[in-house]
Amino acid sequence: MSYDVNNYSMDQALADDRNHVWHHLTQHKPLEDNDPLMIVEGKGMRVLDAKGKEYLDAVSGAVWTVNVGYGRESIANAVRDQLVKMNYFANSAGSLPGAMFAQQLIDKMPGMSRVYYSNSGSEANEKAYKIVRQIAYKKFGGKKHKILYRDRDYHGTTITALSSTGQLQRKDQYGPFTPGFVEFPHCSAYHSPNGGDADFGIQAARLMEDAILREGADTVGAVVIEPITAGGGVIVPPAGYMKEVRRICDKYNVLLHIDEVVCGLGRTGKWFGYQHFDIIPDIVTMAKGVASGYAAISCTVTTEAVFDAFKDDPSDTMSYFRDISTFGGCTAGPAAALENMRIIEDENLLENVQKMGAYLNERLHGLAEKYQVIGDIRGEGLFQGIELVVDRETREPVHESVAAGVAADCMANGVIIGRTNRSFELHNNTLCLSPALIVGKSEIDEIVDAIDNALGRIA
Ligand SMILES: Cc1ncc(COP(=O)(O)O)c(C=O)c1O
């Protein structure tokens, strides 16, 4: 028995994993006879598995997280230095990296003001919901407590985050859900009969207004949306949509909460996805790319107006935000996030995302000319989706085994791509690409060529 992971045989590691680890999103029955994938090393955009096979990772750690790439010694050093100085104290006290990262983050988010730290995207969203609920009690006698969410959007894995998630298959078997969450329709032009209308963005936003009116505006406290729907099929909002959503929220005194867990920190070529649409939200949540997976950190960021609702008479013992996050006090998170942000700035990665995103999109459109099975290419920056259909006219989705087959073929040939998975029963048909923000042309060629070859064999 050893505690030294550097002296651990790969065979033993695989055996221990098979015997004792429960993996996320995984049916373990096949692992009775097969080894699990175990990734043991990474550098830049490439990773190595326990059997020595190398892969080009086109999805930043499978779930769009490792924005600055693998093997960043400067982040590891920043975290190490911080940990030996001061690793943890509860977040009711401040920390040096916590203060500095909050200032740097707010600097990139004009109109926003306060940062609340926790550890995962789901948790950051839960904090936002609690903020909305408490404001409802403080200002509106508890009435304005409902939170609207959109069909196809995902906001996390906890029961309440799932309650605000518009993905039926992801939610199936986990109910009953938290009351007070209400769904409204998505804004996907490709999946809407009137998606070709010039004012489709306005029409789609008005569906949110319909939901507010149906519920009663005096009962709705907030709307939560992804700036670009990620796991729900890479859906970029149509022109005019976000501004109209903002206008409607203002009209009915509804807070606008943007979930930047995927798009935040540069993925789309701006610091945040919502910044493509010339709006200022009331609440923004973020996680994955905040520290590129070098430490667990998430942030719930609010305007000063939202924060002000909790500044009150200190003798009222129930008036402050009575939330607690034990690991929100871990200093490794903001220490890693600071260095992660410095890298994005110093290496001009936002510019690289814009250039390489355009190149990736162009190459994917080239593939669409070759393969009828490609129904739509969608995305912004280095977040791109390829929807596979049986027929371009009817837009009938392919069976999920086709998308799974393409991803498996790429994997067998050393390129890891993603796909929508267990989101909607009939729509697990979109391939997803989200390479690290450092990606270059040759790596994009390698990724697209792998998909080209896979489609040639399978579709
Ligand atoms: C848009 C969005 N929000 C929230 C989450 C939940 O984040 P976490 O898995 O860190 O709880 C995810 C995870 O994929 C996500 O895609």
Q: How confident is the model at residue 392 (pLDDT cuts 50, 70, 90)?
A: very high
pLDDT tens digits, 70-124? 999 999 999 999 999 999 999 999 999 999 999 999 999 999 999 999 999 999 9
Pocket test for ligand 1, best of 157, 224, 225 (most atoms within 8 A of CB): 157
Per-residue pLDDT at 1 exceeds 80? no
Q: What is the pLDDT of residue 421?
A: 86
Q: How confident is the model at residue 225 (pLDDT cuts 50, 70, 90)?
A: very high
Rg (CA), the chain: 22
Report CA(280)–ligand 1 centroid distance (Å): 21
Report CA(297)–ligand 1 centroid distance (Å): 12
Average pLDDT over residues 348-364: 98
Per-residue pLDDT at 424 exceeds 90? no
Q: What is the pLDDT of residue 308?
A: 97
CA-229 nearest atom, ligand 1? 1
CA angle 135, 137, 142 (to 5 degrees): 120
The string of DSSP codes covering 155-210 is --SSHHHHHT-B-HHHHTTS-SPPTTEEEE----STTSTTTTSTTHHHHHHHHHHH
Residues having CB within 6 Å of any atom of ligand 1 = 63, 120-122, 125, 154-157, 226, 230-231, 259, 261-262, 287
Q: Enumerate residues 6+ apart whose C-beta is below 8 A from 336.
A: 75, 78, 79, 291, 292, 294, 295, 297
SS3 292: coil
Q: What is the pLDDT of residue 85?
A: 98
Report CA(145)–ligand 1 centroid distance (Å): 23
CA atoms of 85 and 75, how far apart (whole Å): 16
Average pLDDT over residues 229-251: 97
Q: What is the pLDDT of residue 427?
A: 85
Return mean pLDDT, the chain.
97
CATH code: domain 75-346 is 3.40.640.10
Q: What is the pLDDT of residue 317?
A: 92
Average pLDDT over residues 227-248: 97
Per-residue pLDDT at 24 exceeds 80? yes
Greatest Cα-to-Cα distance within the chain, rounded to the nearest angstrom: 70
Report CA(373)–ligand 1 centroid distance (Å): 29
Pocket test for ligand 1, best of 155, 186, 325 (most atoms within 8 A of CB): 155
CA nearest 276: which of 216, 201, 211, 223?
A: 201
Write down the domain spans for the chain. Answer: 37-68+349-458, 75-346
Q: What is the pLDDT of residue 162?
A: 98
Q: What is the pLDDT of residue 422?
A: 83
Q: What is the pLDDT of residue 202?
A: 98
Ligand 1 atom 16: residue of nearest CA: 262
Q: How confident is the model at residue 423 (pLDDT cuts 50, 70, 90)?
A: confident
pLDDT tens digits, 152-207? 999 999 999 999 999 999 999 999 999 999 999 999 999 999 999 999 999 999 99
CA atoms of 120 and 296, how far apart (whole Å): 7
Q: How confident is the model at residue 459 (pLDDT cuts 50, 70, 90)?
A: confident
Q: Please name the fold of domain 37-68+349-458.
A: Aspartate Aminotransferase, domain 1 (3.90.1150)
Q: What is the pLDDT of residue 263?
A: 98
Residue 432 · residue 348 · CB < 8 Å: no
